[in-house]
Amino acid sequence: MRILAIISGEYGRRHVENIRRHAPPGWHIETWQAPGVFPPVIDYPEDYLPASLPPADLILSFAEQRGAAELLPDIARMSGARAVLAPIDSESWLPSGLARQLRGWLERMGVACATPKPLCSLTETQYTLSRTEKVTYDNPLLAEFSRYFGKPELELEVDAESRQITAARVIRDAVCGCARYTAENLVGVSADDAEEKAGMLHHHYPCLASMGIDPAFGDTLMHVSGNILKNAVGAQVKPYRQVRYITPGQKVD
């Protein structure tokens, strides 16, 4: 699969570095550095695009300006891409309204487009846009990418006697690499503490999603992302956790 990643800063660079490090054989990844400044309205997209772009099957939009998102239909046309992944990890980079327009523009071109909010909600069949809204899709290029990167999925081995995590395997990493970092640091942790530990590891990585309150979730996208990872870990260790019940007014030995 030929991938063209659009980047402009640290957010995109870290994503691309992790993808290159852990991509399966056969993926070829090129990058294009988007301009650092765009006008409020882009009248002539050709003024902000290179003379040519490498051919691609899938475009990953990791730029940190809304102007770069507005260029995606032209970038898809120039590269011949048949699918675009444009995550909403910050409303200032890709507002939800623009994301909706982008999906329509690309659909009319016959190009599939996914705009997960946040990026780590992406699976092989769906992604989220808000606390209650999920979007399903059916595209082999997006599905192939999300087999390896998207919504974190771990496989944890827990010793039944000690209830400690003895091994952790990454089935699907977050695009930024946070899930892999978390898995590496969960070995030896008690099942009782694993979910909270995962949240702390996510915070320390750190997450690249927005820290501003997002109206679609009533929370920061950074916290939404952290909860996705915590829930993935919590589901794995749930059978091994000890639940203590306290009866009010009685002494507990």
Its CATH architecture, for the domain 2-146, is: 3-Layer(aba) Sandwich (3.40)
Instruction: Give the distance, in angstroms, between the CA of residue 177 and the centroid of all CA atoms in the same chain.
Output: 10
The 10s digit of each residue's pLDDT in 153-208 is: 999 999 999 999 999 999 999 999 999 999 999 999 999 999 999 999 999 997 88
Sorted by where each begins, the domain ranges of the chain are: 2-146, 153-240
Q: What is the pLDDT of residue 81?
A: 98
Whether residue 194 contacts residue 209, with contact meaning beta carbons closer than 8 Å, is answered with: no
Dihedral-angle region of residue 10 (phi above 0 means left; psi in -120 to 50 means alpha; beta otherwise)? alpha
The 10s digit of each residue's pLDDT in 218-251 is: 999 999 999 999 999 999 999 998 866 556 666 6
Measured between alpha carbons, how far is 61 from 233 in angstroms, rounded to an integer?
28
